[in-house]
Every structure is written in C-alpha cells, then in structure tokens.
C-alpha cells in the first residue's frame, strides 16, 4: 500500500511541474531582463574635456579586499587638456578572475574614474584573458553600458542610511568645499563586507588637483613625495 502512495505522490509532483510555467528560458534566443544593479565588468572614464579622470591615488587598490587591482602611479604631470599639473596613473590592471564585485573600488574613488559595466567580458579560454589592462578598461568606457552607480551615488546612498544626527559628507567629486575636507573614508578593515562601512571621521581626499596629499584610511601609507603626488604602494 505504501508503495502505491509513494508512486502516486511522485506522479502528482511530476504532473504539477509539467503544467507550471517554466522558470528557464531558451537562451540565447530568449534573454532574461537583468536586475537594475547587475554589474559584471569595469571601465575607466574620461571627463567631458577628454582628460583621464583617474589621478592614480591608489585608493581603489588599497581598499580592494581581493587585492586584484595593481596601479602604477605616474605622479603629477601636466594635463594635456588643461595644462595644469595633476596626478595620473601610468598603468592600471584589474584581474577579474578573483573580483568579488563588492564595488568598494568604485565607492572610494574620489573622482568617479572607475565604474562597473552591465555587459560581461567575452567568455575566455584562459585566466589571462580576464585580466583587464588599462587600455581595455578605457575601451570599455565606450563599448559597454555602465552599471547603475558610481562613487558619488554609492556615497549618497550610504549617507541617506546614516542616523539623522550623523554628519553628512558629500562625495569628493561633487563637494563644494575642497575635496580634502569632504571625502569620507572607507575603513579597509571592513572591506570584506559586501555592505561597506564608512568611518565618520573626516579625511583628506584627492582631486585631480591635489592627488599628492591624500589620506585614505588608517591602513593607508603616507603619501610619497617622490612619486610626484600619489601615495606610494
């Protein structure tokens, strides 16, 4: 008797699932609509005048919990666009293989130079194909649609969730005051959390003009004057 009950139960499950709407889609002819905050790769951006936004401050490299970002800071150089001296990065490597998509690198960027993109990289045959070079990151600026956020939006979202009596700090990229007074600091000790915490104490934040005098967190090393502006790695 028990055998028939079990068999009946199995048949009931089979028929129920046979009739219900499938949860899978016929990829690639049919594609799922991606979530609003879906993100899968990275891009480096230029400003409206065509100058590189990255000032080589190394904040993203230092905050990255997976340590997949490697930047060679160029120090201060004359901008080919404005003629003013400012920080640049000579080289920028981001290894997607071990990235956990926490977006901390985007959040700490004082100039909104690094953003995530919605379109994934082409499936690769080797790990080296998923190492994003500086050229690739700048190419992604034009070739891939951007994800929902940048450093400014992430900071604003976090400020909204603070208690009413906590001091509000705008993102350095849009602060009216000098960025050095306005940029909150992400505590790198908590970097492995997907929901990053921001220290409430003020800290120096770099801009294109003052990339040489940043102070990013307790874990950060002091600026190296010899590097021409960006702190030493």
Place of tokens 């009216």: 176
CA 29 to CA 39: how far, in whole Å? 22
The set of residues, in sequence order, having a beta carbon less than 8 Å from that of 73 and lying 6+ positions away, is: 56, 57, 58, 87, 88, 89, 90, 227, 228, 229, 230, 231, 232, 233
**74 interacts with ligand SF4 by CB under 6 A:** no
Options 50-58, 77-85, 132-140, 168-176: segment touching ligand SF4 (CB under 6 A)? 50-58
Contact range with ligand SF4 by CB under 6 A, out of 59-67, 138-146, 176-184, 195-203:
59-67
Consecutive H or E run containing 89: strand 85-95
Options 43, 74, 105, 173; binder of ligand SF4; rule CB under 6 A? 105
Binding status of residue 148 toward ligand SF4 by CB under 6 A: no
- As measured in angstroms, the least distance from the Cβ of 203 to ligand SF4 is 14
Residue among 41, 76, 86, 94 that touches ligand SF4 (CB under 6 A): 94
- Told to check if 209 binds ligand SF4 by CB under 6 A, we report no
**CB 22, min distance to ligand SF4, A:** 33
Distance CA 134, CA 140 (A): 10
Other CB atoms within 10 A of residue 23 CB: 5
Residue of 41, 75, 88, 103 interacting with ligand SF4 (CB under 6 A): 103
Strand 69-78 with 85-95, pairing: antiparallel
Which residues are at the interface with ligand SF4 (CB under 6 A)? 54-60, 63-66, 68-69, 71, 89, 94, 99-105, 108-109, 111, 113-114
């Amino acid at each position: 008797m028990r055998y028939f009950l079990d068999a009946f139960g199995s048949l009931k499950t089979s028929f129920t699932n046979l009739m219900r709407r499938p949860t899978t889609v016929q990829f690639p002819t049919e594609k799922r609509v991606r979530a609003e905050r879906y993100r899968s790769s990275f891009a480096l951006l230029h400003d409206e005048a065509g100058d590189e936004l990255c000032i080589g401050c190394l904040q993203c490299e230092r905050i990255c919990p997976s340590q997949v970002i490697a930047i060679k800071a160029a120090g201060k150089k004359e901008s080919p666009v404005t003629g003013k001296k400012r920080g640049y990065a000579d080289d920028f490597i981001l290894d997607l293989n071990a990235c956990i998509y926490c977006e901390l690198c985007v959040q700490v960027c004082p100039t909104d130079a690094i953003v995530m993109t919605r379109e994934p990289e082409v499936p690769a045959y080797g790990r080296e194909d998923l190492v994003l070079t500086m050229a690739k990151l700048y190419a992604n600026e034009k070739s891939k649609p951007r994800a929902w956020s940048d450093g400014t939006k992430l900071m604003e979202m976090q400020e909204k969730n603070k208690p009413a009596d906590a001091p509000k700090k705008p993102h350095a990229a849009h602060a009216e005051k000098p960025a050095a007074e306005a940029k909150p600091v992400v505590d790198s000790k908590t970097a492995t959390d997907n929901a990053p915490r921001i220290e409430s104490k003020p800290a120096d934040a770099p801009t294109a003009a003052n990339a040489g005098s940043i102070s990013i967190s307790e874990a950060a090393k002091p600026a190296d004057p010899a590097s021409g502006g960006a702190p030493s790695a």
